[in-house]
């Protein structure tokens, strides 16, 4: 058998959280194309319906669920329902995430907690819900969507950076604790990707010029551009497939080179 077959996801069941659109949608679509049966959730029926329609438009039959990933009861119920209706989850992608861009000394503790809840507590809650069946089945893949902010800080994103830094360590800990059961837990650290989450950073200025943050990010990226959601598909399929069975506890940065680069000298 050719090693190429190891990249196939034929016969696998994948759950991608918060995947009605954006990065999660691109990853789940890639999994479907690679042969997996895909499940996704979002926080309300409207978003799930939009997601289902978007998958259908691509010829993909997806299973959509309404579930708030910060609510442990809802998550346990969703995972039980998926196991009953679709099968044991082989691949989990903790993708759902939020950001609040507020200077730290102006941020309320409630806002800080909300970001930590969605971006760090939820991956713990969903991973905890799927691991027991993965252990019984004898394998499993968990992929946590990390960030440049798992490594770097910047103004206004203290809660997000704290959560994504924590998610990097949760990734390493799941690897450490459950690697013995043939469960691989890795992270993907996207660079700056064109999605609704980053749209405010790319908005044109009233005079039609580019947003200063847009220029700043392109200058910090050797690729000199924002990345597309589709560019995360190959890495996400690799980490979900048997081809990566010896890769565990790793964060794969898909950042167009940002972390390797000291930045352009001012002209």
Q: How far is CA 27 from the centre of its chain?
A: 8
Please confirm, yes or no, whether 160 is among the known catalytic residues. yes
- DSSP-derived secondary structure for 12-55: -EEEEET-SSHHHHHHHHHHHHTT-EEEEEESSHHHHHHHHHHH
In angstroms, what is the minimal distance from the CB of 198 to ligand GCO?
Answer: 5
Task: Answer yes or no: are the C-beta atoms of 129 and 176 closer than 8 Å.
Answer: no
Residue 157, contacted partner among ligand NAP, ligand GCO, none, CB below 5-8 A by kind: ligand GCO
CA dist., res. 63 & res. 39, Å (int): 5
Question: Of 29, 63, 147, 221, which lies in the binding site for ligand NAP, with binding defined by CB under 6 A?
Answer: 147
Q: Which is nearer to ligand NAP, 135 or 152 (CB)?
A: 152
Question: Of 13, 15, 16, 18, which lies in the binding site for ligand NAP, with binding defined by CB under 6 A?
Answer: 18
Task: Give the active site residue among 160, 178, 192, 253.
Answer: 160
Examine residue 99 and tell whether it contacts ligand GCO (CB under 6 A): yes
Strands (E), 73-125: 91-94
Question: Of 55, 65, 160, 178, which lies in the binding site for ligand GCO, with binding defined by CB under 6 A?
Answer: 160
Residue 154, contacted partner among ligand NAP, ligand GCO, none, CB below 5-8 A by kind: ligand GCO
Task: Answer yes or no: are the C-beta atoms of 110 and 160 closer than 8 Å.
Answer: no
Examine residue 147 and tell whether it contacts ligand GCO (CB under 6 A): yes
CA dist., res. 74 & res. 91, Å (int): 19
- The phi and psi torsions of 17 (rounded to 5 degrees) equal -80, 150
Examine residue 101 and tell whether it contacts ligand GCO (CB under 6 A): yes
Examine residue 197 and tell whether it contacts ligand NAP (CB under 6 A): yes
In angstroms, what is the minimal distance from the CB of 14 to ligand NAP?
Answer: 16
Q: Which of 77, 62, 75, 56 is nearest to 14 (CA)?
A: 62
Residue 101, contacted partner among ligand GCO, ligand NAP, none, CB below 5-8 A by kind: ligand GCO
CA dist., res. 95 & res. 16, Å (int): 6
* Catalytic center residues: 160
Binding site for ligand NAP (CB under 6 A): 17-18, 20-24, 41-43, 47, 68-70, 95-98, 118, 145, 147, 190, 192-193, 195-198
């Amino acid at each position: 058998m050719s090693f190429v077959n190891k990249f196939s996801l034929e016969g696998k069941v994948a759950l991608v959280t918060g995947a009605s659109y954006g990065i999660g949608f691109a990853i789940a679509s890639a999994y479907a194309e690679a042969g997996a049966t895909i499940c996704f959730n979002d926080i309300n029926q409207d978003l799930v319906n939009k997601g289902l329609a978007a998958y259908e438009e691509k010829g993909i039959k997806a299973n959509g669920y309404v579930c708030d990933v910060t609510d442990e009861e809802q998550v346990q119920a969703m995972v039980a329902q998926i196991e009953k209706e679709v099968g044991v989850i082989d691949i989990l992608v903790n993708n759902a995430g939020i950001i609040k861009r507020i200077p730290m000394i102006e941020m309320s503790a409630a806002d800080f907690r909300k970001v930590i809840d969605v971006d760090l507590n939820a991956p713990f809650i969903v991973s905890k819900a799927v691991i027991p069946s993965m252990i019984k089945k004898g394998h499993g893949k968990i992929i946590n969507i990390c960030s440049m902010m798992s490594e770097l800080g910047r103004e206004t994103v203290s809660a997000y950076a704290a959560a994504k830094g924590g998610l990097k360590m949760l990734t390493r800990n799941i690897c450490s604790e459950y690697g013995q059961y043939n469960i691989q837990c890795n992270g993907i650290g996207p660079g700056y990707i064109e999605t609704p989450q980053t749209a405010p950073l790319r908005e044109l200025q009233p005079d039609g010029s580019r947003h200063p943050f847009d220029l700043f990010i392109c200058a910090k990226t050797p690729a000199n551009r924002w990345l597309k959601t589709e560019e995360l598909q190959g890495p996400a399929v690799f980490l979900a497939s048997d081809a990566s069975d010896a890769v565990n506890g790793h964060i794969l940065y898909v950042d167009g080179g940002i972390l390797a680069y000291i930045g352009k000298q001012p002209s």
